[in-house]
Amino acid sequence: MSAVRLSAAVNGHEREVSVTDGSMVVIGAARYAVERLDSGTWRVTADGRGLLVHVVPDDDGCWVHVDGSVHRIELTRAGTRSRARPRTADHGLSAPMPATVLSIVAPVGQTVRSGDVVLMLEAMKMELAVRAPRDGVVTAVHCRAGELVQPGVTLVEIE
């Protein structure tokens, strides 16, 4: 059985990944059985524990929602380099995928700590918490509840 070897940058951290036959993924020493349920939804099983995983592809990777967390994964063939990706301004937060703003939890002027929920989004029938990456003060909010937002667009600025 041949394996496709990939390099995956998960939230900026490099991992070597092998996909053995379309139904088994190996990351380091961990093996995961994967089953496609429908477009964008997979069941991933490891050590007898199954999780539903929702995947939204984009130009050079995908957004993955699993167990209440959202991760950005960039994929390249092992041994190649990934393309430079435009990033949101150093002080801005953006949606991880197309989503609807449910609520603004931290308004302009509010002090936030790393990990605090700044706003709530809804995508693919799931609620997604957008969290502060560091301590700071919310200096601008560029969205409102009910608005459809796209990935890469700055929604909240924290200084």
User: In this predicted structure, what is the pLDDT of residue 89?
Assistant: 44
Count how many domains the chain has.
2
70 and 97 in a single domain? The answer is no
pTM tops 0.75, yes or no: no
User: In this predicted structure, what is the pLDDT of residue 102?
Assistant: 96
User: In this predicted structure, what is the pLDDT of residue 79?
Assistant: 54
Give the domain CATH number at 117: 2.40.50.100
Long-range contacts, stretch 138-141, CB < 8 angstroms, 24+ apart:
138/106, 138/107, 138/108, 138/109, 138/110, 138/112, 139/91, 139/108, 140/108, 141/104, 141/107, 141/108
Give the domain CATH number at 46: 3.30.700.30
The parts of the chain modelled with pLDDT lower than 70 are 1-2, 11-12, 22, 58-60, 68, 77-91
72 and 16 in a single domain? The answer is yes
Range of the domain at 70: 4-77
User: In this predicted structure, what is the pLDDT of residue 90?
Assistant: 55
Question: Model confidence over 8-38: pLDDT tens digits?
Answer: 777 667 878 888 776 888 887 788 888 888 8
